[in-house]
Amino acid sequence: MRKIIPTFAVCFAMAASFVSCGSKDSSSSESKKEGIVGKWNITDESLSEMIGNHEELKATSGTMEFKDNNKMILKGKIDYSELTSLKDDKFFLQGHELEIVDFTGTELSVGKGEKVLLTFTREEKSDDMYGTYDFPMDEDDNEESDDKSEIKMDTCTITFEKDGKSFMNVSGSTDYIYDEEKKELKSSEDDDKPSKVEIDGDKMTITDSEGKVETLTRAD
């Protein structure tokens, strides 16, 4: 159990590692189709790098949306099947079968004997064990922070499909600064290592202070 919970942090660390290269639009005078404001697709390769190129985790899709109210929204979908899955009413954690201790329609509890190791919850009750649940996390996974450059987790869910596939969906937000004149992205006013931005039509190239280049394509 202690490994699957931190794994969530690894997944969501994709936000921290990537959005340090991205930011918001502080200038709303330009068309959304011409400036940074809008939704951008993140390449699967970049997503995989964000979650540390773990063999068990496969990034399938991700978007970064720059709002004109100085907010950046990051969303990602990760194939979680190698770590945990539900198939033929059997639950597997890292290849080991756990017992389904209890299922109430809104809660799915798994463990060994009477000992519950993980509990997945959802709002809508269903007799079907498969579907989307909130991902179980430690209480400190989303503690409030005074650091405005940190990603605030908004949602984290896991979907169990009947074919044994499982997918984690994460969504987070943060405040970022974009200097339209200098074409620079910063995590805060105190950030002395801004990333350079170049937009060519529906393609945006972000180069961080170490020279690492990420390319995004406009989604809308």
Using the Cα atoms of residue 30, residue 218, residue 10 and residue 96 in order, give the sign of their dihedral: positive
Residues 69-121 have pLDDT tens digits of 888 898 888 888 988 999 998 999 988 999 999 999 999 999 998 899 999 99
- The verdict on residue 103 lying in a domain is no
- The verdict on residue 42 lying in a domain is yes
Using the Cα atoms of residue 135, residue 137, residue 139 and residue 141 in order, give the sign of their dihedral: negative
Residues 28-51 have pLDDT tens digits of 434 345 688 999 998 777 766 665
Domain that holds residue 62: 4-81+138-218
- The verdict on residue 53 lying in a domain is yes
- The verdict on residue 9 lying in a domain is yes
- The verdict on residue 204 lying in a domain is yes
Coil vs helix vs strand at 89: coil
Question: What's the structural domain count of the chain?
Answer: 1
pTM over 0.85: no
The residues, any chain, with a CB within 8 Å of residue 146's CB and separated by 6 or more, are none
- The verdict on residue 156 lying in a domain is yes
- The verdict on residue 118 lying in a domain is no
